[in-house]
Copies of this chain bind each other. A is one copy, B any other.
Amino acid sequence: MKPLEWNWYIEYTSAHHGYLYAIKKTLFSDETPFQRVDIVDTFTYGRLLVLDGKTQSAEFDEHIYHEALVHPAAMLHNGPKEVMIMGGGEGAVLRELCRYPQLEQIVMVDIDSKVVQMCREHLPEWHQGAFEDSRVELLHQDARAYLEGTNRKFDIIYSDLTEPAEEGPSKLLFTKEFYKMVKTKLNPGGILAVQAGGFSLDYLTIHAAIRNTMELAFDSVRSYHTFIPSFDCSWGYIIAGVKPDQLAVGRAEIDRRLGAIAGQLKFYDGETHEGMFCLPKDVRRALQEDQTIIEDDKPVDF
């Protein structure tokens, strides 16, 4: 018989459930001082960046993940000039931000230089040369330490971090104390936009905890979501600092604000935006019922 593929990536979401992807080839596999890094080429979704056994983004649909993270905040802010990215090793948040000519400064702080180096080498479709943009400043240090030590303030801060696992490098970048500090680093009208975990009825714990925790620092916190094929799951994002009346923007206005950028985007536009901000009734209820808070002394072990 023709043999089935022999090399598989199984992403377990629990001891009882998971996803199977056949691997065509392993392009890179090593430990850095911070995490296990693998770049694998799969049959179904092309190349995948996998950190500590969890998919970060896939060639097939990273455009969904990254456009969904970047553009809502950019559209809802009233003219951003200086932005910061925490994490974002693939360089694709950079790529999306570089589309905006009005941005003057993009600071990216990713702790793991080896991850960034491997993404630059093996994932050119992700960054598309954005690391070379003259507005970009790339730093390799802990994002919390950077923010605590700087006098700079930003119009938008993006959190594109791995999940806050017990042992991972992002553990203290999702806490109450952290978000309160981040707020002081935003200019007036500033926005914090966070990739915020699975948004599925059976997998809401992380999202709910991040949201509850952000609400302790910010007045206005909103979840939005979209389905990402290679994650086999609906994915959640959270935006903080946008007033409710600012959010009441229709699809036509989004399309108008996008202007010339629209032609460069594959996923995001006015209709997509509108759909992402509609939450199903059962998920709304489940979010209301969850009370988990993440603190420096009480990091949640998901």
Task: Show the binding face of A for B, using Cβ within 8 Å.
Answer: 1, 3-12, 14-23, 25-27, 29-30, 38, 42-45, 50, 52-54, 60-61, 63-64, 199-203, 226-227, 229-230, 232-234, 251, 265-269, 271-272, 274-276, 278-282, 284-285
* Known contacts A44-B16, A44-B17, A202-B45; A227 and B227 CB within 8 A of each other: yes
Assembled-state Cα–Cα distance A63/B10 (Å): 28
Residue of B nearest to A251 (CB): B278
CB atoms of A203 and B226 under 8 A apart: no
CB atoms of A280 and B272 under 8 A apart: yes
CB atoms of A16 and B22 under 8 A apart: yes
Q: Identify whether the interface residues of A are mostly helix, strand, loop, or mixed.
A: mixed
CB atoms of B17 and A10 under 8 A apart: no
Distance (Å) between the CB of A200 and the closest chain B CB?
Answer: 4
Complex interface: chain B residues within 8 A of A3 (CB): 12, 52-54
Known A64-B282, A271-B284; further 13 A-B contacts with Cβ < 8 A? A6-B10, A7-B23, A15-B43, A16-B43, A19-B19, A20-B20, A26-B26, A45-B202, A64-B201, A229-B233, A271-B281, A272-B279, A276-B278
Assembled-state Cα–Cα distance A8/B20 (Å): 10
**Most chain B Cβ neighbours within 10 Å, of A3, A25, A265:** A3
List 5 tightest A-B contacts by C-beta distance, closest first: A275-B278, A16-B43, A6-B53, A26-B26, A16-B22
Name 17 A/B residue pairs within 8 A (Cβ), A-sorted.
Answer: A3-B12, A5-B10, A7-B8, A7-B53, A19-B19, A19-B20, A27-B29, A63-B282, A64-B201, A202-B229, A227-B233, A266-B281, A267-B281, A269-B281, A271-B284, A272-B278, A275-B278
Distance (Å) between the CB of A63 and the closest chain B CB?
Answer: 7
CB atoms of A9 and B7 under 8 A apart: yes
CB atoms of A266 and B278 under 8 A apart: no
CB atoms of B15 and A18 under 8 A apart: no
Residue of B nearest to A167 (CB): B2
CB atoms of B18 and A20 under 8 A apart: yes
Assembled-state Cα–Cα distance A10/B19 (Å): 9
CB atoms of B29 and A21 under 8 A apart: no
Distance (Å) between the CB of A273 and the closest chain B CB?
Answer: 8
CB atoms of A275 and B265 under 8 A apart: no
Complex interface: chain B residues within 8 A of A25 (CB): 29-30
Among B6, B272, B278, the residue within 8 A (CB) of A11 is B6
CB atoms of A60 and B15 under 8 A apart: no
Complex interface: chain B residues within 8 A of A233 (CB): 227, 229, 232
Residue of B nearest to A232 (CB): B232
Complex interface: chain B residues within 8 A of A16 (CB): 5, 21-22, 42-44
